[in-house]
A and B are shown apart, each in its own frame.
Chain A
Amino acid sequence: MSKTDKKLVIFSDIDVEKALKSALQKSRPDLINEVRDSGLKGRGGAGFPTAVKWNLAAAAQGDRKFVICNADEGEPGTFKDRLLLTDYADQLVAGMVLAGYAVGAKEGIIYLRAEYAYIRKDLEATLEKMRGKKLLGKKIAGKDNFEFDVHIHMGSGAYICGEETALIESLEGHRGEPRNRPPFPVTVGYLGCPTSVNNVETFITVLHIVEKGAKWFKSYGTEKSTGTKLFSVSGDCDKPGVYELPMGISIKKLLETVGGEDAKAVQVGGASGTCVPRKDFDRVIAYEDVSTGGSIIVFGPFRDMLEVAVNFMEFFCDESCGQCTPCRLGTETLLEGLDMLDEGKCSLKYLRELCSLGETMQVSSKCGLGQSAPNAFLSIVENFKSEIFDSRCTCR
């Protein structure tokens, strides 16, 4: 269960059946407008405004449309979707029904990562229960011309399939290699049909917003990052777990909450995110400052930051789909560089070259994986250069 004492938004009480039925009494534009007014941005990491995505999918031409729940949660240090899929599955499905209603889709798919296969049975049972209550299927909540159902599709073990176009490729029976964009999935998605892909937490948040109002949601967070967010906290702290906290919270405050005050650095946003050193703990977690899909990894005073960087880079070497050169070769070259640093054999000149390679990857890789793979490398080298060099001096 979650470690949060206060139930703010996502963990606040809700009567799912009642909330869903009353939301479906609204007109489609009214429903999307409520989401728009809340300022909700996607909770899967990229932070795209949810209402904009739904409006695009609603406006797109097509007899057949899809709503996809991205339950591929694979970012290192993220586990809040697992909690939601386990304990709040009915809210998730209700959120998907609302998305289907808003964009005009009849079919929903939950793309569940292979590693979460143990959740599947309960998830199926939830779907079945909701069918029984006529909250899924034909004439949902008595609405004659509205039908929507959901099925589960299992992943097969590939982090890249969390990227929405790779996910769609995978659903279509291909290697999970990201597509060129545009076209975006909202116009050309699964089977060529308009498709809205959203994160688990996004769907649940929408359900609460529509039931309790955009204004209520906006009473939390900052102007640009409204509402609350779930944080998956792990690493060197007393109370790891899932926390619901308002957006805009400072890293310092977050560390106090989780019992990690003595941290020397915090990785915000997982392997793809940034490593924030102690001197910057006044920075806040929000789209306009340090952004995250929810992963918070705490590094205590005795952690070797070079080992951390190596672990992250091994992850990317392993998970790069290999489709484009900057990412495929870049991740390997950066890992070799880290090994050289570890052996005390990396010149400063070469380290500078590696950093510029990292910057090239950020701009020239095809998808978010390659674009963000160098982030941790760059921020760790920048902030812990002297620690790294001092601890690996071969002349001693």
Chain B
Amino acid sequence: MLASERDQLKAEIFKMAKKHDQHRSGLIPVLQHVQNVSRHISPEAMQDIAEAFKIHPVEVQGVVSFYSFLSTEKKGKFIVRLCRTISCDMAGKEAVANQLENELGIEFGETTDDGMFTLEFTNCLGMCDQGPAMLVNEDIHTKVTPETVADIIDNYRNRFGAHVTQGEHA
């Protein structure tokens, strides 16, 4: 991360923390924000966040490691989360999983080299009557099939390609 980027993020962190009166209840909203803008929570960010809330960085790390939507590793621009829980499993998630790996050329738990996609399994998404279900960032996709999955992925690829901005490539 560029020094100026870190400074900018730090300023945002401090501003948000202040909005929460530096109370710990503001910690997770801040972490969510950092995750959103920089796609992970770096050691530097954790230090800044700890400073903003006047707690030890280890405390921050403990929280980050607990939640599956927060991460210390940099994620792709799009995080694909396929439901692996029972109803989606019975509805054929295995074939979808296989095709996702083929389309993206990575395995579950990995991120594509261009930093576009991260592929993950997740637990029940609350769409069990319309499985297999899949989240891409905040969008929900239901009744996904091995055939439709390629289109869904392409769609995100194109959408991003249309407005690539400087410095957004990993």
Q: Which residues of A contact B (CB under 8 A)?
A: 73-79, 81-82, 113-118, 153-159, 170-176, 191, 232-236, 240-242, 267, 271, 297, 303, 307-308, 311-312, 314-315, 318-319, 321
In the assembled complex, the CB of B59 is this many whole angstroms from the nearest CB of chain A, namely 9
Q: A74-B124, A79-B126, A241-B129 are in contact. Are A173 and B25 (CB under 8 A)?
A: yes
The answer to whether B63 and A76 touch across the interface, beta carbons within 8 angstroms, is no
Chain B contacts of A172 at CB under 8 A?
Answer: 24-25
Residue of B nearest to A307 (CB): B89
**B168 at interface by CB-CB < 8 Å:** no
Instruction: Report the minimum CB–CB distance from A117 to chain B (whole Å).
Output: 4
Cβ of B87 and Cβ of A174 under 8 Å apart? no
Given A156-B32, A170-B28; A175-B66 close (CB under 8 Å): yes
Contact yes or no, B69 A114, CB < 8 A: yes
Task: Give complex CA distance A352, B130 in Å.
Answer: 37
Residues of B within 8 A of A267 (CB): 86
- Taking the closest CB of chain A, its distance from the CB of B123, in whole angstroms, is 6
Residue of B nearest to A156 (CB): B67
Given contacts A78-B126, A234-B87, 11 further A-B contacts (CB under 8 A): A81-B126, A115-B125, A154-B32, A156-B67, A171-B25, A173-B27, A175-B66, A297-B86, A297-B87, A297-B128, A315-B123
| Residue from A77, A153, A175, A176 in contact with B128 in the complex, judged by beta carbons closer than 8 Å | A77
- A318, B135: Cα distance in complex, Å: 18
CB <8 Å contact, A158 and B138 = no
Q: Is B62 in contact with chain A by the CB < 8 A criterion? A: yes
Cβ contact of B31, chosen from A156, A158, A233, A241, cutoff 8 A:
A156
**Size band of the interface chain B makes with A:** 35 or more
Name the residue of chain B whose CB is nearest to the CB of A3: B129
Chain A residue numbers with a CB within 8 Å of B90 are 235-236, 303
Interface residues of B (CB under 8 A from A): 23-29, 31-32, 53, 62-63, 66-70, 84-87, 89-90, 122-131, 135, 138-140
A118-B89 contact in complex given A79-B128, A156-B69, A159-B123, C-beta closer than 8 Å: no
Query: If A76-B123, A77-B87, A79-B126 touch, does A176 touch B69 (CB 8 Å cutoff)?
Result: no
Nearest to B60 among chain A residues (CB) is A173
- With A170-B28, A173-B63 as given contacts, are A308 and B86 in contact (CB-CB < 8 Å)? yes
Q: Bound state CA distance, A315 and B131, in angstroms?
A: 17
A118 partner residues in chain B, CB cutoff 8 A: 138-140
Interchain Cβ contacts under 8 Å between A and B, 10 examples: A156-B32, A158-B67, A173-B63, A191-B25, A234-B128, A235-B86, A240-B128, A303-B90, A315-B86, A315-B123
Of the residues A73, A191, A235, A307, contact of B87 by C-beta under 8 Å: A235
The residues of A that contact B85 with a CB separation of less than 8 Å are 76-77, 271, 311, 315
> Who on chain A is nearest to B24 by CB?
A173
CA A311 – CA B49 in complex, angstroms? 37
Are the CB atoms of B86 and A174 closer together than 8 Å? no
A318–B24 CB distance below 8 A: no
Expressed in whole angstroms, the minimum distance between the Cβ of B55 and any Cβ of chain A is 9
Which of B23, B27, B29, B85 counts the most A-chain CB atoms under 10 A from its CB? B85
Q: Which one of B86, B127, B131 lies within 8 Å of A271 (CB-CB)?
A: B86
Contact A116–B126 (Cβ < 8 Å): yes
